[in-house]
Structure 1
């Protein structure tokens, strides 16, 4: 199977601004309240990045809600599959280094 994108949902809280900037560098959507899950999606004639974000929000909604309820912010990353390795590696390292402050809560290749 050929993949086109790597999708990551990263939850974080109580981090330094520099860490938040690194986590958010490739984000396509920041979610810091429950309204961000429902007041965003509109489907049109084109299937673009916004359409993909709506699909990801639908896939991950329950998990995102769980982390929002625990005081986390969540970012979605949509990275081209052919260049994802350094980004995924860096996020996993931050996840390990900072423990419960940064968590990769979803990771899919599509």
Structure 2
């Protein structure tokens, strides 16, 4: 993008310099030469303004596309993170159930041992 703008600017400035030199060395009256230089300068100014506008529009389009791409990528990453979090929560829930089941079994064993101890005393 930057190279295209520099190339266009270089071509326009080269064309303007060539036209100005051609006019200066042409065998015309001074007033005619000044008029032609003025016309060429105005034409070159218009071309540069047009190129600058095109470059600005290209940059704006690319910036918009980049923004859309970044938002899309962010949205995908957010979705992926949410999926990982859901998977972790689910896995944690199963592990919590396993721990609770194990603790309930231990508690039942302890209650049974406690009853046996109470009967023997």
**TM-score past 0.5 threshold:** no
Give 1 or 2 for the bigger CA radius of gyration.
2
Instruction: Classify the TM-score, shorter chain.
Output: under 0.3
The structure in which a higher percent of residues are strand is: 1
Higher relative contact order (CA 8 A, sep 6+): 1
Report the TM-score, using the length of structure 1 for normalisation.
Answer: 0.21
TM-score (norm 2): 0.19
